[in-house]
C-alpha cells in the first residue's frame, strides 16, 4: 500500500508514484495490511500545502538564444579572403594614381623643356640676323673710310632706282597694320606701325632675304626700319 502524506489517501496500486488528488509523492504505508481507502478529511493530521516548483524554461531559452547569437556573430564575420581582396584593390587604385601623377609631371617637364629650347633657338636666330645686319653696316662704313683715305676723289653714288619711287601698303586687312621692325623678321618688338592704307613709303636701303620672304629697309613718317616687301606696291 502507498499513502499520500498530505491528504492521507491510501492507494493499493504499487505503480502509482504521485497522489491523484494533489500530486504529492506517495510513500509506503507502515501498515500495509490495511486496505481501506480513507476519504479526504478523516485524518486529523494538519495538512500542508506543497506546490511543485515550476521550472522557468525561459532561462534555458535565453541561454540557448545567447549561444545561438554568439555563434551567428562568429559565423557572420567578414571572410579573410574578402578583406585581403579589398585591401589589394585599394592598393592597386592608389598605385595607379601615383604612377599617373608621376607620368603627368614628367610630361609637363618635358613640354616645358621643349618650349624653352624653342625660345632659345628663336633668340639665337634673331641674334644671328641682327649680327649679320650690323656686320653689313660695319662693312659698308669700313669701305667708305678706305675710299676716303686713298686720296682719290670719291665717286658719285650710283643712282638708286628706288630713291624717287614711293610705295603704298597692300595685302593688309583693314583692321590690321604693317609693322616696321628693327631687324628683318617677325619679332615682337617694332619701331612703328603703318596703317593698311599707308602711302609715301620709300625704300632707303638694301634688302635681305629671310626664308621665302624679302625684307627691305624703308622710311615712313621719319621712321626707318625693315618691312616685308610682299606688303608693298608702287604708287
Domain boundary among 9, 42, 77: 77
Q: How far apart are CA 47 and CA 41, in angstroms?
A: 10
Could you tell me if 124 and 171 lie in one domain? Answer: no
Residue 106: the pLDDT is 84
* Same-domain pairing of 186 and 216: yes
- Report yes or no on 199 lying in a domain: yes
**224 and 180 in one domain?**
yes
Residues 88 and 65 reside in one and the same domain? no
Whether residue 6 is found in the same domain as residue 73? yes
Please give the residue range of the domain that contains residue 91: 78-130
The whole-number pLDDT of residue 111 equals 80
Query: Which pLDDT score, from 0 to 100, does residue 47 have?
Result: 55
Query: Are residues 115 and 57 both part of a single domain?
Result: no
Phi/psi for 167 (5° steps) reads -130, 165
Is 145 inside any structural domain? no
Q: Is residue 196 part of a domain?
A: yes
Specify whether 3 is located in the same domain as 72: yes
Q: What is the CATH number of the domain that holds 172?
A: 2.30.30.40
Q: Residues 6 or more apart from 130 whose CB is under 8 A from it?
A: 183
* 91 falls within a domain: yes
- Determine, yes or no, domain membership for 120: yes
pTM recorded for the entire structure: 0.33
Give a yes or no: residue 13 inside a domain. Answer: yes
The number of distinct structural domains making up the chain is 3
Task: Please list the rounded mean pLDDT of every run of 10 residues in the chain (235 residues).
Answer: 86 84 83 50 51 51 49 58 90 93 86 75 65 63 54 56 79 92 85 92 90 92 91 91
The answer to whether residues 187 and 228 belong to one domain is yes
Specify the pLDDT at position 8: 85
**Residue at 43 is within a domain:** yes
Residues 14 and 68 in one domain: yes
Residue 230 shares a structural domain with residue 193: yes
**160 inside domain:** no
Do both 8 and 73 map to the same domain?
Answer: yes
Determine the pLDDT at residue 43. Answer: 46
Is there a single domain that holds both residue 47 and residue 82?
Answer: no
Amino acid at each position: 500500500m502507498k499513502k499520500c502524506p498530505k491528504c492521507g489517501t491510501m492507494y493499493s496500486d504499487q505503480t502509482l508514484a504521485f497522489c491523484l488528488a494533489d500530486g504529492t509523492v506517495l510513500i509506503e504505508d507502515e501498515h500495509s495490511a490495511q486496505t481501506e481507502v480513507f476519504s479526504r478529511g478523516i485524518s486529523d493530521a494538519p495538512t500542508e500545502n506543497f506546490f511543485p516548483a515550476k521550472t522557468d524554461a525561459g532561462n534555458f531559452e535565453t541561454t540557448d538564444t545567447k549561444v545561438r547569437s554568439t555563434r551567428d556573430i562568429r559565423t557572420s564575420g567578414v571572410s579573410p579572403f574578402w578583406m585581403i581582396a579589398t585591401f589589394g584593390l585599394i592598393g592597386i587604385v592608389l598605385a595607379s594614381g601615383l604612377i599617373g601623377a608621376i607620368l603627368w609631371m614628367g610630361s609637363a617637364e618635358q613640354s616645358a623643356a621643349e618650349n624653352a629650347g624653342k625660345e632659345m633657338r628663336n633668340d639665337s636666330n634673331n641674334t644671328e640676323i641682327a649680327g649679320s645686319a650690323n656686320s653689313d653696316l660695319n662693312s659698308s662704313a669700313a669701305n667708305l673710310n678706305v675710299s676716303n683715305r686713298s686720296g682719290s676723289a670719291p665717286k658719285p653714288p650710283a643712282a638708286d632706282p628706288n630713291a624717287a619711287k614711293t610705295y603704298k601698303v597692300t595685302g593688309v586687312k583693314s583692321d590690321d597694320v604693317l609693322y616696321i621692325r628693327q631687324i628683318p623678321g617677325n619679332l615682337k618688338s617694332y619701331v612703328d606701325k603703318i596703317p593698311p592704307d599707308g602711302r609715301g613709303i620709300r625704300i632707303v636701303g638694301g634688302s635681305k632675304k629671310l626664308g621665302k620672304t624679302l625684307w627691305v629697309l624703308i622710311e615712313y613718317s621719319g621712321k626707318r626700319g625693315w618691312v616685308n616687301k610682299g606688303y608693298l606696291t608702287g604708287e
